[in-house]
């Protein structure tokens, strides 16, 4: 059997262990410490956000962002349907109701058209949304210019889920810095990883200061344990932050490698009309976290996404259908949805290909050949 080709596996740069060793040598084996402060500085410098809080996960960052915007039971939050469940689950943690918005075809992200439809209808029912969560899925920038123009009309704050989009920019501005708050993830399969972790970024210092406070059990300033708020244990540890500092040193290389993967696949399937990719719009720069293909079985002699997925699995190549939209998930079956079936169709026809920055050209060729064997 050929060796396994993973969808997106961790790729250390070499310096991570030095930061972790320093934490051991100085006995900062604790939550918080110099590596946490250092990673926050690195993230601020890289994204251009004025403030960053390193947290235990991207999910906890979304949860704290909702709390910062005052989202509570009975509120409505608009969320991109085509995403990972972690974008939407924190809405439920707060007892609020998610309202799901379909994708548009250019970027696969939140449709500005259905976003505005939903806002107008909810306002007419006296259910004005408290927040909006667009996502930069697979690292492809959403249409933030249009989205920000719409929310400005109705004065609704934005939490940008940039968990998959560290290194992506739109008109030179980092994904995650368009909204009031931005969310990053360093989970094991993301473009860089701390084995697990995330961050909340914002230009609003108060949001970040209060998030750090809530993320460390909301301890009031007193010699004893005194609490005036419900707290959370959401801070990143100084050990994992050390991995993060090492990873930040190679982030630009990782983006370049993932973009190389995308170009490699695109060139390989240039002659195949039934295989298509999501392109960058003018002004957009995608980190190409995962390269995804759409399979149009009308143009592949009937060969479907599933035919390809199963063939790759047999070749010991990990691949995955695109995210199943939230409005089709059993847990969110009752949530309102605005759209026309775009995300549903992407889910039906789409496949994520192996996209790790540690893949060799030999690996990429193995993937391409296995797919061509199905198509030819
Ligand atoms: C990974 C991911 C998250 C959650 O991040 P974690 O660090 O795994 O909690 C949120 N949204 C999207 C779109 C993601 O891909």
CA–CA gap between residue 41 and residue 37 (Å, rounded): 6
Q: Give me the pLDDT at residue 232, please.
A: 98
On whether the 16-248 domain is CATH 3.40.640.10, my answer is yes
The pLDDT score that the predictor gives to residue 157 is 98
Q: Which CATH architecture has domain 252-375?
A: Alpha-Beta Complex (3.90)
Q: How confident is the chain (376 residues) per 10-residue block, as mean pLDDT?
A: 92 95 91 93 98 98 98 98 98 98 98 98 98 98 98 98 98 98 97 97 98 96 95 96 98 98 98 97 98 98 97 97 98 97 98 97 97 96
From 161, 196, 199, mutation site for ligand 1 pocket: most ligand atoms within 8 A of C-beta: 161
Q: What is the pLDDT of residue 206?
A: 98
C-alpha to C-alpha distance for 249 and 272, rounded to whole angstroms = 38
Q: Which of 198, 215, 287 to mutate to test the pocket of ligand 1 (most atoms within 8 A of CB)?
A: 198
Q: Which of 82, 87, 142, 160 to mutate to test the pocket of ligand 1 (most atoms within 8 A of CB)?
A: 87
Whole-number Å distance, alpha carbon 255 to ligand 1 midpoint, is 18
Same fold across 16-248 and 252-375: no
Ligand 1 centroid – CA 164 distance (Å) = 7
Interstrand relation of 76-80 and 97-101 (parallel, antiparallel or unpaired): parallel
So what's the pLDDT on residue 30?
Answer: 80
For residue 277, the tally of other CB atoms under 10 A from its CB is 15
Is residue 194 in contact with ligand 1, taking CB distance under 6 Å? no
Going from the Cα of 99 to the center of ligand 1, the distance in angstroms, rounded, reads 19
Residue 370 alpha carbon to ligand 1 centre in Å = 30
Domain ranges of the chain: 16-248, 252-375
How far the first Cα of the chain sits from its last, in Å, is 23
- The pLDDT of residue 248 is 98
Q: Is 83 in the pocket of ligand 1 (CB under 6 A)?
A: yes
Strands of 23-163, DSSP E: 51-55, 76-80, 97-101, 131-133, 159-161
């Amino acid at each position: 059997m050929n060796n396994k080709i993973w969808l997106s596996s961790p790729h250390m740069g070499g310096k991570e262990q030095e930061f972790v060793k320093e934490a051991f040598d100085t006995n900062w084996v604790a939550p918080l410490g110099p590596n946490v402060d250092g990673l926050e500085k690195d993230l601020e410098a890289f994204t251009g956000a004025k403030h960053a809080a390193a947290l235990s996960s991207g999910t906890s960052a979304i949860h704290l962002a909702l709390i910062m915007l005052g989202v509570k039971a009975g509120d409505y939050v608009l969320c991109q349907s085509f995403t990972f469940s972690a974008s939407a689950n924190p809405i439920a943690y707060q007892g609020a109701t998610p309202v799901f918005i379909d994708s548009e075809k250019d970027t696969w992200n939140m449709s500005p058209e259905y976003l505005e439809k939903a806002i107008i209808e909810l306002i007419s029912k006296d259910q004005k949304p408290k927040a909006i969560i667009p996502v930069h899925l697979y690292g492809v920038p959403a249409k933030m210019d249009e989205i920000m123009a719409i929310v400005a009309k109705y004065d609704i704050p934005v939490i940008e889920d940039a968990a998959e989009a560290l290194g992506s920019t739109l008109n030179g501005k980092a994904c995650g810095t368009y909204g009031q708050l931005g969310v990053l993830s360093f989970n094991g399969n993301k473009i860089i990883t701390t084995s697990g972790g995330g961050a909340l970024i914002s230009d609003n210092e108060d949001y970040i200061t209060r998030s750090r406070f809530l993320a460390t059990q909301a301890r009031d300033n007193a010699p004893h344990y005194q609490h005036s708020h419900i707290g959370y244990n959401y801070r990143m540890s100084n050990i994992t932050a050390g991995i993060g500092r090492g990873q930040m040193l190679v982030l630009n290389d990782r983006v370049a490698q993932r973009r190389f993967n995308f170009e490699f696949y695109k060139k390989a399937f240039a002659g195949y009309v039934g295989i298509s990719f999501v392109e960058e719009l003018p002004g957009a720069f995608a980190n190409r976290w995962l390269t995804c293909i759409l399979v149009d079985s009308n143009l592949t002699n009937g060969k479907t996404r599933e035919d390809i997925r199963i063939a790759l699995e047999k070749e010991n190549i990990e691949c995955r259908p695109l995210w199943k939209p939230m409005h089709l998930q059993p847990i969110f079956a009752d949530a309102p949805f605005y759209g026309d079936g775009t995300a549903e169709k992407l889910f039906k026809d789409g496949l994520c290909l192996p996209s790790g920055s540690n893949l060799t050209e030999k690996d990429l060729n193995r993937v391409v050949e296995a797919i061509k064997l199905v198509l030819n």
